[in-house]
A and B are shown apart, each in its own frame.
Chain A
Amino acid sequence: MATERNDIEEALNRRYEAGFVTDIETEYLPPGLSEDVIRQLSAKKHEPQWMTDWRLEAYRHWLTMPVPEWAKLKIGPIDFQSISYYAAPKARPKSLDEVDPKLLETYDKLGVPLHERAKLAGVAVDAVFDSVSVGTTFRKELAAAGVIFCSMSEAIQEHPELVRKYLGSVVPVADNYFAALNCAVFSDGSFVFIPKGVRCPMELSTYFRINAMNTGQFERTLIVAEEGSYVSYLEGCTAPQRDENQLHAAVVELVALDDAQIKYSTVQNWYPGDENGIGGIYNFVTKRGDCRGARSKISWTQVETGSAITWKYPSCVLRGDDSSGEFYSVALTHHAQQADTGTKMIHLGRNTKSKIISKGISAGRGQNTYRGLVKVEKGAEGARNYTQCDSLLIGKKCGAHTFPYIEVKHPSAIVEHEATTSKISDDQLFYCRSRGLGEEDAVSMIVDGFCKQVFKELPMEFAVEAKKLLEVSLEGAVG
């Protein structure tokens, strides 16, 4: 009996492995939001005046904006005054060797290689803990190739000309409610600059961790790929298990110049809340890539398994002639999770191409919405889009919704959209069961097959992680 109970408990805990809290001395700004808080935040980070002004402008604009209500989401009211907009570990390391061992342990537990042995993994990591970046690995090696990979705070200090040139050029200050809030209060994030003709020698990765209570995380990522360069970038996120909802409002901007390629992969595993929908992260993210140059390419791949609410539309503005955009997504909602996610493909240049593959899985009482826009503007001769949205329903109380918008203004465009909704059929299950598979294994195998088109776009380590995450997230979905 005792062992059985332990097994059950273990299984329960396994559901959200990243749910622990690291006990570390943290410095906060008191909760609340005002111009003074923003000035304080900016001062803490020793930012130049233009940055402070930029933040204040965003804040003033944010105050005038209504909270968006168009998404198919039930969002409780958010009290922006009860959130602390800055939380950072007290001990600030000079180099990775000085990083608080507890912090390193945290990332170890999460399976993120921060230390030297990370070399084995061959991935350069920027780790963001609450509001600040705690360390970026492989900087020297990257610098030798001319690649800049550092935290956004450092970039503002060390490469102000680049930051000023590109920050806010893809997602303008007043773009939307949560982006404006992010502009005002973002605390850190990653900055990547790949110079002309350079193929980034390793995968770059950022790991976001929310640890402190009553805080929001507002990070800002900017990736610039100059002419003919290539970079693959991975993003992972986790947070401890708590009863309150925490806000995560990030902005990611990508700029690809002529012939440049950016591949951006996300495995999002913020704390999803418990079975009853208590707690979890509100994940309101604005991600947009600008294919500014001819023949440039931006590819988004996302696996969204976490968060109580996901509101996220990684988009591509296909400005350059012959540029292309891709969006591959798996979004899973279980228990009381809600997701409203999709993409926008804006075709402006000639012969631009885009491809959208979206796989939504709903289980429990989860609500999963695909919302996408494919827009072909007047000048976009020869534009081509293919969209496929599939939804898988597991259980009686979940929902799967599809809201695609197609707007075409050029007669040479070809736009195709297909969507299907189905459930795991009893026949499929029966077949697997008759081959000796347990019900949960059978389901996870079928789900894995359903998601294959997306997983194959992920870098290998991420694909394995994503698969594992889906399995864990779906536990208890059947039967």
Chain B
Amino acid sequence: MSLANTFYNTLVKRNSVYVTSIFAGAFAFGVGFDVGITNIWDSWNKGKQWKDIRHKYVQE
């Protein structure tokens, strides 16, 4: 069975499964997007944020 048919038969065939997987996908996408953008932000601002320079000022 081809990839297209596998996709159709597992996810799309029943509307309940389709909608549920869309919402699950939206949740996963939201988390992944958040993590990805945060990583990009952190790497872009490397050395400028408090969590990067905290060890210079706080000795515990």
A and B interact: no
Enumerate chain A interface residues (CB-CB to B < 8 A): none
